């Protein structure tokens, strides 16, 4: 029997290594693409028309007419934040009463029960044709928005007093340090260098922090469409650091009176720090997440194990071929 040239073994070994590298890196790249751009998704949630540099559709959003308590109309009704709130809780959060009330549900809890594809489907009107944004947002934008809802939105409800709206047990010193490092150069040491139009009136940064802390948190974490401000998300701020900056901003001129007591968590039940989305929120979803991760890991382990066995066989064949 003719002996095979040992170089054939080398060639096959090289090909096998390339296949292993392909198996190793391709899933990671696919996962990265599926995750989308969280920061851009947050900006789309704020004002997608401004991000895309287009005019909002004429008239009010189709679902808007199903409620009668909020008297706004036109362009604002197309913004996700108008219906679902800056705390992402809708009728169960800060928009549960007052002029912003619509009765529309929140998106934070719902997004944690869905995968990215299901969220995109909801944005495409698959569950409700009146909630179809596919004519206005391309696939990349829909995916970015879904990524934000799934992995970027933060539940701060347990850390803001519902009456005074002040941050609970924040670190004022840490907030001041971060503010002076990242914010003061544009907003000024007193937060009044840039004026905001807030609910039809001019407002300082301190006023916004005091009156609408959830809007403040969203914008300091993810920015305002059409601006180039440094954002907490890109600075790797934790959720707590964002609230620390909010606490400091609430001490600036135009904020709450200094006589207002800063409430504490004393007497409240101990609650885990809310995640920034993605991780399981309860025992049931934790089990599902764990099983999914195990299945993915097992599948990869089988592929890798098979490839390694193939390498070993090729090495043996190569050695025997040289004898």
CATH number at residue 248: 1.10.760.10
Instruction: Reduce the DSSP state of residue 60 to 3 states and report it.
Output: coil
Q: What is the rounded CA–CA span in Å between residue 102 and residue 72?
A: 10
Q: Which of 40-44, 62-66, 114-118, 193-197 has the lowest mean pLDDT?
A: 193-197
Q: pLDDT band at residue 22, thresholds of 50, 70 and 90?
A: very low
> Would you state the pLDDT for residue 201?
78
Total domains in the chain come to 3
Instruction: Reduce the DSSP state of residue 152 to 3 states and report it.
Output: coil
DSSP symbol at 167: B
Q: What is the rounded CA–CA span in Å between residue 80 and residue 119?
A: 14
Statement to judge: residues 89 and 186 lie in one domain: no
Q: Is the pLDDT of residue 199 over 90?
A: no
Statement to judge: residues 237 and 318 lie in one domain: no
Statement to judge: residues 184 and 274 lie in one domain: yes
Statement to judge: residues 294 and 200 lie in one domain: no
The rounded mean pLDDT for the chain is 79
> Would you state the pLDDT for residue 301?
55
Exposed e or buried b per residue across 229-252, where buried means at least 16 C-beta atoms within 10 angstroms of its C-beta: eebbbeeebebbbbbbbbbbbbbb
Statement to judge: residues 23 and 118 lie in one domain: no
> Would you state the pLDDT for residue 101?
94
Statement to judge: residues 56 and 78 lie in one domain: yes
- pTM, two decimals, is 0.71
Statement to judge: residues 191 and 273 lie in one domain: yes
Residue numbers of the domain that contains 19: 1-32+284-323
Statement to judge: residues 130 and 71 lie in one domain: yes
Q: Which residue has the higher pLDDT, 323 or 198?
A: 198
Q: pLDDT band at residue 32, thresholds of 50, 70 and 90?
A: very low
Statement to judge: residues 63 and 145 lie in one domain: yes
**Contact 254/192 with Cβ under 8 angstroms?**
yes
Q: What is the pLDDT of residues 263-320, one digit of tens each?
A: 433 333 333 333 333 333 344 444 444 444 444 445 545 556 666 676 766 676 666 6
Q: Show the DSSP H helices in the chain as ranges.
A: 6-35, 38-52, 80-84, 108-112, 116-123, 139-151, 172-182, 184-187, 205-211, 213-222, 239-249, 283-322
Statement to judge: residues 16 and 56 lie in one domain: no
> Would you state the pLDDT for residue 321?
64
CATH value at residue 83? 1.10.760
Which of 23-32, 159-168, 246-255 has maximum average pLDDT?
Answer: 159-168
Compute CA distances 107 → 84, 85, 88, 141, whole Å: 7, 9, 6, 17
> Would you state the pLDDT for residue 287?
45
């Amino acid at each position: 029997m003719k002996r095979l040239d040992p170089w054939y073994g080398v060639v096959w070994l090289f090909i096998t290594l390339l296949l292993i590298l392909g198996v190793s890196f391709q899933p990671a790249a696919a996962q990265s693409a599926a995750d989308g751009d969280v920061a851009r998704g947050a900006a789309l949630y704020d004002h997608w028309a401004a991000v895309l540099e287009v005019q909002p559709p004429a008239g009010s959003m189709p679902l808007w007419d199903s409620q009668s308590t909020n008297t706004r109309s036109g362009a604002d009704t197309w913004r996700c934040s108008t219906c679902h709130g800056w705390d992402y809780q809708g009728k169960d959060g800060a928009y549960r009463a007052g002029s912003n009330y619509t009765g529309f549900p929140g998106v934070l809890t719902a997004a944690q029960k869905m995968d990215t594809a299901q969220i995109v489907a909801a944005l495409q009107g698959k569950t409700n044709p009146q909630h179809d944004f596919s004519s206005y947002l391309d696939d990349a934008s829909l995916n970015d928005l879904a990524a934000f809802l799934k992995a970027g939105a933060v539940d701060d409800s347990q850390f803001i007093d519902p009456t005074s709206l002040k941050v609970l047990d924040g670190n004022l010193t840490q907030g001041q340090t971060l503010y002076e490092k990242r914010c003061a150069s544009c907003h000024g040491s007193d937060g009044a260098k840039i004026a905001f139009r807030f609910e039809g009136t001019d407002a300082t940064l301190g006023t916004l922090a005091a009156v609408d802390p959830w809007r403040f948190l969203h914008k300091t974490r993810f920015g305002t469409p059409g601006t180039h401000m440094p954002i907490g998300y890109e600075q790797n701020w934790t959720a707590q650091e964002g609230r620390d900056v909010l606490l400091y901003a609430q001490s600036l001129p135009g904020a709450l009176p200094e006589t207002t007591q800063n409430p504490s968590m004393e007497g409240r039940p101990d609650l885990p720090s809310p995640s920034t989305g993605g991780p399981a929120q309860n025992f049931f979803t934790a089990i599902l997440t764990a099983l999914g991760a195990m299945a993915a890991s097992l599948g990869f382990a089988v592929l890798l194990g098979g490839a390694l066995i193939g390498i070993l066989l090729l090495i043996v064949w190569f050695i025997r071929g040289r004898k």
